[in-house]
């Protein structure tokens, strides 16, 4: 049985991770940590876990973590995570990191977008980018996985087949996305307060969102050439889920049948990418580790729709998928 520690256990992604672990046949949560002022019985912090888990959330003791766990799900924010990951690795633990601290290979880009000095540059090259559908082989055997952001996972899974085949231009892609309010975390700012969010819908981080360079990095890796995108996020008054609508110029005429064949070839054997044959809906993926994708054409453009649950495939579910790969398990274990 894989023993799992969760650091930052009082956030939404940690709660979602625990819910998955409760149905996992080969892994169990053994150690939960958070800031001292946030500690207490996990079942009291998240009522949905009452009578399902009897672990307390305690302050982090590194020696205790190494004694009780084989792998750490690091559910800490960017800037914070890189202060703990080196110690966890040194203690012999595998780490799946939910933050952005190990996703971007270019430190200068990270520091420009996150406005903080990166203090663990040595481990950036050590980390595998944890998008199994594209980089499965590079994840197996690693001890540090950078779990992708929710927006990049949704956008990249939608676009990867097209950029790989060169069927769309590489410098005129527009990624328009909307997310549920849980993406702001459990302690959001004023804009995500219920009276502000209710019956509202708005764009934010215009042209500056921190996930934009992550999307560009991964698509460039897939394409084998530089790819740039204009990424614009929005938030709407639902709890979980996100939907991408992507617009791109084709490099040649492409039919619906060709697009369907392209995506079937790319994802037909993937457990967690579904091809519904029509624009996906958020209600169809909520609470699941699926990403639903459909590509079509209109008025000379290629349009791609992609939807996933930001807390599951966009965070906790994908992290468990990566953890399964690290330990040689069927990657769908606990996720169906």
CB burial string 74-86: b at 16+ within 10 A, e below: bbbebbebbebbb
Contacts 24+ apart (CB under 8 A), 101-110: 101/146, 102/127, 102/144, 102/146, 103/127, 103/129, 103/146, 103/148, 103/149, 103/152, 103/214, 103/217, 104/213, 104/214, 104/217, 105/217, 106/213, 106/217, 109/213
Question: Averaged over 227-251, what is the pLDDT?
Answer: 97
Phi, psi for 41 (deg, rounded to 5): -60, 130
More confident residue, 232 or 191: 232
- Boundaries of every domain in the chain: 2-148+314-326, 151-309
What are the pLDDT digits (tens) for 136-159?
999 999 999 999 999 999 999 999
Which pLDDT belongs to residue 116? 96
Which pLDDT belongs to residue 185? 77
Catalogue the active-site residues.
Answer: 150
CA neighbor of 262 nearest in space, from 167, 171, 133, 156 = 167
Which pLDDT belongs to residue 198? 87
Mean pLDDT taken over the chain: 96
The two beta strands, 291-298 and 273-274, are parallel
What are the pLDDT digits (tens) for 164-216?
999 999 999 999 999 998 887 777 777 777 888 889 999 999 999 999 999 99
Which region, left, alpha or beta, applies to residue 122 given φ > 0 means left and ψ of -120 to 50 means alpha? alpha
Contacts 24+ apart (CB under 8 A), 76-80: 76/7, 76/8, 77/8, 77/185, 78/114, 78/116, 78/210, 79/114, 79/116, 80/8
Which pLDDT belongs to residue 272? 98
Which pLDDT belongs to residue 285? 98
Distance of alpha carbon 53 from alpha carbon 38, whole angstroms: 17
138, with CB counted inside 10 A (0-12, 13-18, 19+), is middle
From residue 41, give the alpha-carbon distance in Å to each of 24, 28, 47, 293: 21, 17, 10, 39
What are the pLDDT digits (tens) for 86-98?
999 999 999 999 9
Domains 2-148+314-326 and 151-309 share a fold: no
Which pLDDT belongs to residue 11? 94
- Angle of CA points 231, 237, 242, to nearest 5°: 40
The superfamily in CATH containing domain 2-148+314-326 is NAD(P)-binding Rossmann-like Domain (3.40.50.720)
CA neighbor of 303 nearest in space, from 180, 175, 178 = 175
Which pLDDT belongs to residue 245? 98
CA neighbor of 308 nearest in space, from 119, 91, 156 = 156
What are the pLDDT digits (tens) for 30-71?
999 999 999 999 999 998 899 899 999 999 999 999 999 999
pLDDT exceeds 80 at position 76: yes
Which pLDDT belongs to residue 212? 97
pLDDT exceeds 80 at position 129: yes
The reported pTM is 0.96
Class of domain 151-309: alpha beta
The DSSP string of 18-53 is HHHHTT-SSEEEEEEE--GGG-EEHHHHSGGGTTT-
């Amino acid at each position: 049985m894989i023993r799992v520690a969760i650091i930052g256990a009082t956030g939404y992604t940690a709660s979602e991770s625990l819910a998955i672990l409760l149905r996992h046949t080969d892994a169990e949560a053994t150690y939960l940590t958070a800031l001292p002022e946030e500690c207490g019985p996990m079942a009291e912090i998240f009522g949905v876990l009452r009578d399902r888990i009897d672990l307390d959330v305690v302050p982090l003791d590194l020696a205790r973590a190494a004694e009780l766990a084989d792998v750490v799900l690091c559910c800490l924010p960017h800037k914070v995570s890189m202060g703990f990951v080196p110690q966890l690795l040194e203690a012999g633990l595998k780490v799946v990191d939910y933050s952005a601290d190990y996703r971007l290979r270019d430190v200068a880009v990270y520091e420009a977008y996150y406005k903080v000095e990166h203090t663990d540059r040595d481990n950036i090259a050590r980390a595998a980018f944890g998008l199994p559908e594209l980089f499965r082989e590079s994840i197996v055997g690693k001890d540090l996985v950078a779990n992708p952001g929710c927006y990049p996972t949704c956008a990249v899974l939608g676009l990867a087949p097209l950029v790989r085949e060169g069927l769309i231009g590489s410098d005129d892609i527009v990624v328009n996305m909307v997310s549920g309010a849980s993406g702001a975390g459990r302690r959001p700012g004023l804009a995500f307060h219920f009276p502000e969010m209710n019956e509202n819908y708005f764009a934010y981080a215009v042209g500056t969102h921190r996930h934009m360079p992550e999307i560009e990095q991964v698509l460039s890796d897939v394409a084998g050439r530089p790819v740039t995108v204009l990424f614009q996020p929005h938030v709407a008054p639902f709890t979980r889920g996100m939907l991408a609508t992507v617009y791109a110029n084709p490099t040649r005429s492409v039919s619906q049948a060709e697009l369907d064949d392209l995506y079937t070839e790319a994802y037909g054997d993937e457990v967690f990418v579904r091809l519904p044959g029509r624009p996906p809906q958020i209600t169809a993926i909520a609470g699941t580790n699926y990403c639903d994708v459909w590509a079509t054409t209109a008025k000379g453009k290629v349009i791609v729709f992609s939807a996933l649950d930001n807390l599951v495939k966009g965070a906790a579910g994908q992290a468990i998928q990566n953890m399964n790969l690290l330990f040689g398990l069927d990657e769908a274990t606990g996720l169906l």
